[in-house]
Each structure stands twice: as structure tokens, then as C-alpha cells.
Structure 1
Amino acid sequence: MDHREDLLAGRFSVDFVALGLRRRLAGDFGELLAHLAPREGRVEIDPRDLPGLDLGPGGRRAVGEILDDVGLLEDLGLEPQLDCIVSYARDERGLAVQTDVCSFHADRADGELDTWICTYIGPCTELLAPADARRRIEDPARRAGLLAASGLAEGPTFEAWLRDGSFDLHFEPREGALPVPLGVGELWRLAVDWPGAPGPPCVHRAPSGGPRLLLLA
């Protein structure tokens, strides 16, 4: 999509689980990142603090573009979060299915909701087409491992345990599937798993590398 109005009006379906505004931003996000990047981990940035940074014209342009996106999302009633990420926390419990954001996963909500995302600089989120994604709990060996870890038997209680731990939201690529990276600077809406959703959720993952400047809502 080339226009913000089309992004806002677009509808998800069985065939469309991600809608994106394709654009090239003019700001110097490298300069901004140099002021923000932590040594490690992930830090939430208050967008209201950005205008106070000592930046050149390109950096100030980048701040303006971020604040424009933040305003759009706030006007939609959302609470956008700006993160500067060098590395993500990983699931190190040793279970048969990892549940960190670097694993392909879908988002879930109790009511109608979309995930909004923009990578301003750094490695981008990757998507899998619905037909290319297989739930990890469908793998017999992984399911058996989770069953043993739960101490339960197959049945409704185990299914509830899988859901409570978000194990049912994690996927793996089918053989031959290729992830699709979202473009730098592009603003995307991703379909979420919610009761009554018109189609499947968008399966995506965070990149393992950094640094990265990310807006998420």
C-alpha cells in the first residue's frame, strides 16, 4: 500500500494477514540510534524525550517521523511503545518449545485487535505465510516433551496448559518455506488471533540481531 488511508481501511481475511505502508523515510535514524542504543538488552524510549536530544537536521527529521507515527497510533486509541533493542531475552527453560519473540509466533487478544509495527533502523521482523507455518505443538516429539514437562495427561487440562503458556502460538517453517522480511521504515498491521477473527493470525518473529529501533502497538 502506498497511502496511509489504505492501510487504515484495509481488512484482513483468509488470504491477507499483513497490511503494510510501503515508504522510504528521510530521517537519519543512524544518528538517532547512536544517541539511544544501550550496551545490551532492550530499553523502552519515551518519544516525548526525543525532541530534547542534540541532533543534526537528519536526526531531527527522524524524530519528527517517529512522532508522526506515534500520533497516528495514539489517535487510534493505541499505546505505542518505542524500543531500542540490542538483543532480546531468550527462553532458556529447556522446554520442547521456546516461547520468546525470536521464535515464529502469533499474537492473541480477547477482542478485535491488530499488531502495529515499524522498524526504523536495523534488522526487521520476518513473516511466514499461513500455508508455510506449522504449529510446533503438532510435532509429536515436541508435544510429548511438553506433556512430560506439564505432568499432565492428554486432554482438556493439558490443552489449557498449552494455551496458558502460549505454546500453541509458536510455529516453525514447513520444509522449503522462506521467511519474508518487512521493509525498514515501513508501517505494518499484522492480524491477531482473537475470537471471531476473519482469518488466521500473522506468524512472525523478531530478528536475533541488533541494534534496532522499533515502534510497536
Structure 2
Amino acid sequence: MKKSPLATTQFKNVTSFQDLVNTPFQGNINALCWKRTLIGDFSEIANKLICTGTLATVSIEELLTLQLSEQGKLARETLLHDMKLLEAYGAAPILNVIENYERDEDLPWFPTDVYSFHVDRSPIATDTFLCTYYGAASDILPNNQAAQKILVPEIRTALKKLYQGEEGTGFEAFLNEYFFDLHYQAKPNAQPINLEVGNLWRLAVDHPESKVLPCVHRAPKEKAGERRLLLIC
């Protein structure tokens, strides 16, 4: 895994699922990685799944109906096992096959889609889990290498013009309502960390009980002609 100089202070590797879910976020640590080398042919599953649009959610039943090679079956066993682990923990895993995500083109100077560095927010205590089994993997960014976009002077000025009002509680509510406050940009010389294929990650979320900063992350640009197979919850 490519590391930035700050990676060791913010991101931590664990060796099991139990460690992944039981290790607390504390101090600067807001991302945990169960680093794995998976066996099986996940590309076979990604390419055999039906995806009539740009993204499809895959059910367990659909997985079980696929006619697969022996390597494809090994990959399917891993997918089913990971989903069962997360469900037993109390999470609600979703398996997606992705051609690409929808782009936010309303404000070209401030897109709020998942390709932009962002944090997740929840009104209740929770974490984000994700694993890329095939295709391009997501990136995370150390918080001190990220700048919240709404605090960048020229962006804030443009947002005030869009809001058509003065700064205050109304403006802050506007930033929250349209998710502007969730998005970040990389500082000069920032070094995003790729999550790599096969690793199961747990990322800190912005919620009222959190004791750490939320983890800044983004979806990758897909490789031409290659789907992604992603588990997320």
C-alpha cells in the first residue's frame, strides 16, 4: 500500500474482522484496514452480473444464480462470507456493480458527487465499511492534507453569491442542506492513499458521538471498459 508520511498516524492495519469492528477510533486514527489477499475470479462475477444502467445493486439470490467457474465460485464464497460477517455485526451491506456514478454537473466549480473528496455524515453513531473486489479502488486523504471547500475564500464567496444572502445561520443551513460542507479539496503536495483491491476498510463518519475527525475519501475514476465490484455499508 502506498503510504503518505502521515499515513501511519491516521490509518491503521488490523489482522481480522473482529479487530476491524472492535478497535476504537481514537486520537488521529479514523480509518482501519483489514488488509487481505483474496482468492478467486471477481472479474467473472462483475462481468456476468446484469447492470442495465450505470449502477446496480446485487442481491444474494442473484449471486447464487450465477453460473461460475471454480475460481468464480471461490470469489462468490468470499462475497457471501463478507456480507454475513457485516450483517451479523449489525450493518446492512450493499453489493454494487458499477459502470460509473452519476456526475453532479449543476455547479462545475463545486461538484457534490462521490468523485469529490468528502466525508460521510449520520445523525446516529455509525461507521462506513467498504471493499473493492474488482476494478478501481477508492482513495482516502489525511485530514491535515485536506481543506474543507466552504472555507476556501474564493469558493465561500461564490457560495454566498449563490445563496444571495449574508453569512449567518441561514447561510450555514444552506451549506448543510446542499451538502457543500461535506466536501474537501486536496492541499498542495497532498498524497491520497489508495484503498487497494481486496481490503475491507472501516472509515469514521461525522456523527454526534464521534471522538475523531471523519475520514475524507472519494470514489475513483473508473478504468475504461472495466466495471467495479464494491461492497459498502
> Which residue in the other structure is 1:195 paired with?
208
Structure 1 gap ranges (5+): none
In 1, the alpha carbon distance for the partners of 2:32 and 2:107 equals 35
> Which residue in the other structure is 2:7 paired with?
none
- Deviates further, 155-164 or 11-20: 11-20
Moved over 6 A (4+): none
1:9 matched to 2:22: yes
Residue 155 (structure 1) aligned to one of 156, 168, 173: 168
- Tell me: CA distance 1:135–1:215, structure 2 relative to 1, closer, same or farther (3 Å): same
Residues 68-79 of structure 1 correspond to what in structure 2 (within 5 A)?
A: 68-79=81-92
In 2, the alpha carbon distance for the partners of 1:179 and 1:187 equals 17
1:65-115 Cα shifts (integer Å, max 9, x gaps): 001111111112221111111111011002642110000000001111000
1:183 matched to 2:196: yes
Residue 230 (structure 2) aligned to one of 200, 211, 214: 214
In 2, the alpha carbon distance for the partners of 1:5 and 1:46 equals 25
Residue 145 (structure 1) aligned to one of 150, 155, 158: 158
Cα RMSD, aligned residues only = 1.3
Residue identity matched to 1:101: V
Q: SS at the partner of 1:127?
A: strand
In 2, the alpha carbon distance for the partners of 1:157 and 1:95 equals 24
Residue identity matched to 2:105: E
In 2, the alpha carbon distance for the partners of 1:49 and 1:6 equals 30
In 1, the alpha carbon distance for the partners of 2:206 and 2:68 equals 40
* Identical aligned residues as a percent: 39
In 1, the alpha carbon distance for the partners of 2:220 and 2:20 equals 24
In 2, the alpha carbon distance for the partners of 1:8 and 1:120 equals 20
> Which residue in the other structure is 1:47 paired with?
60
1:67 matched to 2:80: yes
1:98 matched to 2:111: yes
Q: SS at the partner of 2:56?
A: strand
Q: Any conservation in 2 of the 1:127–1:203 contact (CA below 8 Å)?
A: yes
Q: Any conservation in 2 of the 1:39–1:86 contact (CA below 8 Å)?
A: no
1:41-80 Cα shifts (integer Å, max 9, x gaps): 1111112221111101111111110011111111122211
In 2, the alpha carbon distance for the partners of 1:99 and 1:157 equals 20
Residues 110-149 of structure 1 correspond to what in structure 2 (within 5 A)?
A: 110-149=123-162
Q: SS at the partner of 1:70?
A: helix
> Which residue in the other structure is 1:170 paired with?
183
The normalised TM-score by structure 2 is: 0.89
| CA positional deviation for 1:39 | 6.5
> Which residue in the other structure is 1:87 paired with?
100
The normalised TM-score by structure 1 is: 0.96
| CA positional deviation for 1:37 | 5.9
In 2, the alpha carbon distance for the partners of 1:158 and 1:12 equals 32
Q: SS at the partner of 1:213?
A: strand
